Amino acid sequence: MKKSNKINKVVLAYSGGLDTSVILKWLQDVYGCEVITFTADIGQGEEVSPARKKAKLMGVKQIFIEDLREEFVRDFVFPMFRANAVYEGEYLLGTSIARPLIAKRMVEIARKTGADAVSHGATGKGNDQVRFELGAYALMPDVKIIAPWREWDLLSREKLLAYADKNGIPVDYKKRKGGAPYSMDANLLHISYEGGILEDPSFEPEDSMWRITVSPEKAPNKPEYVELTYAKGDIVAINGKKMSAAQVLTQLNKLGGKHGIGRLDLVENRYVGMKSRGCYETPGGTIMLRAHRAMESITLDREVLALKDDLMPRYARLIYNGYWFSPERLLLQQLIDESQKCVNGTVKVKLYKGTVTTVGRASKTDSLFDPAISTFEDDKGAYDQADAGGFIKLNALRMRIAANLRKKRK
């Protein structure tokens, strides 16, 4: 039965998988509108060109397939890592940071093609629906959003397969046979695994689940040293070789994966209110976080570092909850980016069996580390140790006053 809503064209975030293939046909049938497909290559490691063939089979005339890897890392991942963003102490936000880019391009394509609606395959239980839609509304306030999972009754894999069979929608053999016993989402920053057998938080996933990291036990027995060059808080070279943003993350993923770095098994709090168990592989990001903090340790003022650390959890929640385009995130980003103007130099890390250890850091132009002052040897008067007595006594004043008061009360 067709909807009465007047939708002429809709831009669908389309992967070519089971869910979005069914959504494509469902939109055509239920809304009676033209569907424009948009497929983004953000480094998911799978061929995206088959999506064009599948969309053509479904009668789609306007098909957008775009390589967004460079924009993804340069304009989304790197700014996030300048903030050292970590959600709930552990999660490096690999899925969260990809959604605003997809929302941005959906809206841009909608404007370009004259579409009046956008659609996505996120379920009504998860965070992605919020991220896609907050992004879309922020950039195109009057856009109509169609979220099939909140409208249809195809709420199981069996119903989706039956709908696909009824409507002649080609389904990947692995999907028909069940495929992996969990769902996966990948991009250049990470791979996430959730659902299926992982819904039991006490279940330890088999080692074969992990795709881009070896187990630490099977990692090389010899450590590998890597030097990262920073300019304004971003990595611009690895071992002296200049690279683009996407090239940096690609190379760090290879290095980290080789040494079993970046695996995470986490129960997190979704924005919609429920807890969710997810497993993540973020090898390059894990290296980036450790190295960036090391670079900041010698180039940032103590109180600037403390302020960034105070703001980081809020910044991370904004990204996790879908507020990338919000005024508060944009304001925070200006502060963070201003702090990074002096974050220049090199960091050397050691990769070994699942660990990233900082073993050196240097900045020829912006280091605040002064050996003449911090030395344990004779500093030739650079620091007057006698000054510490008054400093300590003044900082103890409030505690001394409180202690004297307690003494009088006895």
Residues involved in catalysis = 19, 99, 128, 183
Alpha helices in 153-301 (DSSP H): 157-166, 173-176, 245-258, 283-299
Gyration radius (Cα) of the chain, Å? 25
Neighbouring CB atoms inside 10 A of 109's CB total 19
The torsion angles phi and psi of 283, rounded to 5 degrees, stand at -65, -50
Neighbouring CB atoms inside 10 A of 350's CB total 15
Neighbouring CB atoms inside 10 A of 370's CB total 11
The span from the CA of 384 to the CA of 392, in Å, is 14
CA of residue 363 relative to chain centroid, distance: 28
Contact (Cβ atoms closer than 8 angstroms) between residue 92 and residue 282: yes
Contact (Cβ atoms closer than 8 angstroms) between residue 119 and residue 40: no
State how beta strands 224-231 and 275-281 pair.
unpaired
Q: Of 42, 30, 33, whose CA–CA distance to 15 is shortest?
A: 42
Contact (Cβ atoms closer than 8 angstroms) between residue 319 and residue 333: no
